[in-house]
Amino acid sequence: MADNLKTLLRLYRQYAKMDLLWFLRDTRYFLLQLLSDTVSGVCTIAGVCLLSASFRNFSGMNREEILFMMGYSVFIDGIYMMFFIGNNTSMVSRIIGRGQLDHIMIQPVPLWAELLAQGFSPFSGSPMLAFGTALTWYGAVRASIVMSPGWILLFLVYGTCSCLIILSFLYLLSCTAFYAPAAAEEIAMVGRDLFSSLKTYPLGNMNAAVKGIFLTVIPIGLTAWFPSVLLLRAGREGVSSLDFPSALYVPAASAILLAAAILFFRKGMKHYARYGSPRYTGFGHR
């Protein structure tokens, strides 16, 4: 266990240095990407914020509550971009579909460690996280949330779980690339777009059946709306005011999705070990 942790930390340091070298080598392009990421984050939340300004109690939430939910959503995107956006780590269907999984497997480190570390981008991936943190703090102040140590810990736990839900769902989708590499090469991007376009909308007044789907089969509601509702209640009434099943639902869902993603990825790896990738040809690979 200790050796695996040392290996993982060493990989994180190496990829952090590579990210820093990119900044030092081409600072102009680097800053342009940081600016575009910030603009992208603002545009993501602009539509819902404008709706909340025009309609009172939009989907069961007032403007201050929606502002906090938007901050939480961008915070999740920031974690995702800092730890998993580099080298197509989160878009693993591209790695599988393009026949590039062998490049990772020949590295002198465990496959899981390389996949976990190679997306780490602390410099190029940090603007969204900084913007999300600032917006969350501002939304919490506007929504009259008491940010006690217990509440901050709960926020970090829910934030980590929400990010794991997105990542696990994308890996589950990406497992189809083991069996249909050409057709499913970009399936992770489609799944990512699904979360990007829908998770910022509150589900309070939505039909119960549709809401149930978004909280189970397609867990979009667990990556912004539902955790925000729990955090708003905990910040106003105290963490102890949360009932036991509701408080544990997000961590439990993330654990189940993560276990399913690991299970199906391992099954896909067995198929890959037997058949390889048909994307390798006499003309080379992508």
> Is residue 284, in this structure, part of any structural domain at all?
no
Distance CA 155, CA 286 (A): 40
Give yes or no for a contact between 275 and 99, defined as CB atoms under 8 angstroms apart: no
Higher pLDDT, 251 or 109: 251
pLDDT, averaged across the chain: 85
Q: Specify the pLDDT at position 58.
A: 59
pLDDT of residue 284: 47
The single residue listed with the structure tokens 């939910």 is 69
Under 8 Å between Cβ of 74 and 139: no
- 283 inside domain: no
- When mean pLDDT is compared across 85-89, 94-98, 170-174, the lowest value belongs to 85-89
Residue written as token pair 């390798």:
280
pLDDT higher than threshold 80 for residue 34: no
Average pLDDT over residues 43-49: 65
User: Above 60 in pLDDT, residue 203?
Assistant: yes
User: By residue range, what is the domain housing residue 175?
Assistant: 2-275
Are the C-beta atoms of 79 and 156 separated by less than 8 Å? no
**Within a domain: 120:** yes
The answer to which of 47-56, 142-151, 225-234 has the lowest mean pLDDT is 47-56
Cα separation, 195 vs 77, in Å, equals 10
Comparing C-alpha atoms, which of 159, 156, 188, 150 is closest to residue 172? 188
In the block, tokens 């460690």 appear at 113
CB 202 within 8 A of CB 69: yes
Site of tokens 């050409």: 182
User: What's residue 14's pLDDT?
Assistant: 85
Q: Which residue has the higher pLDDT, 239 or 53?
A: 239
| More confident of the two residues 36 and 236 | 236
**Stated length of the chain:** 286
Residue type, 15: Y
**What confidence tens digit (pLDDT) does each residue in 155-186 have?**
999 999 999 999 999 999 999 999 988 888 89
Task: Indicate whether 286 pLDDT > 60.
Answer: no
Q: Comparing 146 with 86, which gets the higher pLDDT?
A: 146
Tokens matching residue 98: 């393009």
Helix locations, the chain, DSSP H: 2-25, 27-54, 63-84, 92-97, 101-105, 111-117, 126-142, 149-174, 187-198, 208-214, 225-237, 244-275
| Displacement of CA 113 from its chain's centroid (Å) | 18
- Give mean pLDDT, residues 14-34: 77
How many Å apart are CA 254 and CA 265, to the nearest integer?
Answer: 16
Contact 187, 93 (CB under 8 A): yes
Average pLDDT over residues 24-28: 74
pLDDT band at 28 (very low <50, low <70, confident <90, very high): confident
Question: Residue 51: its pLDDT value, please?
Answer: 59
Q: Report the number of distinct structural domains present in the chain.
A: 1
- On the question of pLDDT at 275 being above 50, the answer is yes
Strand partners, 197: none
Tokens of 270: 């067995």
* Confidence category of residue 196, pLDDT binned at 50, 70, 90: confident
> Which whole-number Å values give the CA distances from 110 to 20, 168, 266, in the listed order?
24, 19, 14
pTM score, whole prediction: 0.89
